Amino acid sequence: MRRNDHDVTNAIRTTDPAAVGAEVLRIHQSLFDRLPCGLERVFRDAAALYRGRHPDYFGCDTEYHDLQHVLDVTLAMTRLLDGYQRGRSAGEEPLTPRVFLVGVLAALFHDFGYLRRRNDRKHRFGAEYTLTHVSRGAAYLRCYARELGIEEKYACAAATLVHYTGYERPAEDIRVPGALLRQVGQMLGTADIIAQMSDRCYLEKCRDRLYPEFVLGGLAGRRRAGLRQLPLFTSGEDLVHKTPAFYQIALRRLDVPLARSYELARRHFGGDNPYLDEIGKNVRYAQRVAATPRTELLRRRPPITLSPEARPYPKDLVGL
């Protein structure tokens, strides 16, 4: 039986930066026959940030968009990159170690914008940045990539790629230098969707973790004055019940603006696509949950990865 803290293959512990980092390094070396430059450091740095060990940032306090989520997305992204490189046609541009690193960086830091600075006196919780977290993460990543010694062209590209995980800018309008980096962006947007929707505890996380984040971010409960029209959910259960409909929306995004990049997973796995298989299971179970009032159908316990300094959301604030 697949474990709650493991990936779709039940082989990689997605709450462990070292385990995910080791698999990413293994795939890199298998593709380029050389040790990666800088990859080991980025996993250490990301773990320190999310666990509250950075002098300028509080640790992660968003239970849904947590360390497990970014590690799961990074693992999925690496597998898509691997699938691309191994199955590309003669006319497709090959990956380079630098482009590989840029793709991994963008995945690992795509949700960094939920982390609050320690001098932030305006916001109490990272989820309050829901509508701006993509831009915040992109700004941080641009500076961080420069710290790593990455050339300006690729530092800017890494920051731009993060926007493929958001919805405020259409994927087809995102400008990156060259067709290859555009494909890498499409892979990143794909990895973000398939990693979270294939999580074994996806439905429980939607009900108990994502809904409170939506309340704090203005996507649930009472609509904030002046907020543009976005999906609005009335409860965690409502979020779960709408999962099948959301999947149809996500599938259209995966198929068209993200160019069916999920097919690259089949190349990596040699024909199977466990991400789509696990998503299908979650969608069918959501349909079953929606058809019955029995709340005990959702009883899995997702792992907890929050920083020890993270404060729980006030129950009266999020309506729990």
pLDDT at position 223, please? 52
Question: Taking all residues of the chain, what is their mean pLDDT, rounded to a whole number?
Answer: 92
111-142 burial, b at 16+ Cβ within 10 Å, e below that, comes to bbbbbbeeeeeeeebbbbbbbebbbbbbebbb
| Model pLDDT for residues 65-108, shown as the tens digit of each residue | 999 999 999 999 999 999 999 999 988 999 999 999 999 999 99
Whole-number percent of the chain with pLDDT over 90: 82
pLDDT at position 231, please? 55
In this prediction, residues 226-241 reach a mean pLDDT of: 72
| Model pLDDT for residues 220-233, shown as the tens digit of each residue | 765 554 444 445 78
The CA distance from 40 to 72, in Å, is 17
| pLDDT at 134 > cutoff 50 | yes
Confidence of residue 62 (pLDDT cuts 50, 70, 90): very high
Q: Domain residues for 145? A: 17-298
In a domain? residue 309: no
In this prediction, residues 282-299 reach a mean pLDDT of: 88
pLDDT at position 250, please? 95
| Model pLDDT for residues 22-57, shown as the tens digit of each residue | 999 999 999 998 877 789 999 999 999 999 999 999
Whole-number percent of the chain with pLDDT over 70: 93
In a domain? residue 306: no
In a domain? residue 102: yes
The CA distance from 233 to 107, in Å, is 27
Domain CATH code at residue 265 = 1.10.1300
In a domain? residue 126: yes
Task: Report which of residues 67 and 318 the model is more confident about.
Answer: 67
pTM: 0.95
In a domain? residue 284: yes
In this prediction, residues 139-163 reach a mean pLDDT of: 97
pLDDT at position 225, please? 42
Helix (H) or strand (E) holding 87: helix 67-87
In a domain? residue 140: yes
For helices 97-108 and 39-50, angle between their N-to-C axes, nearest 10 degrees: 10
| pLDDT at 235 > cutoff 60 | yes
pLDDT at position 319, please? 53
In a domain? residue 137: yes
The CA distance from 207 to 318, in Å, is 12
The CA distance from 174 to 168, in Å, is 11
Number of domains the chain contains: 1
pLDDT at position 227, please? 45
In a domain? residue 305: no
| CA 319 to each of CA 98, 123, 210: distance values in angstroms, whole numbers, following the listed order | 46, 19, 13
| Model pLDDT for residues 257-269, shown as the tens digit of each residue | 999 999 999 999 9
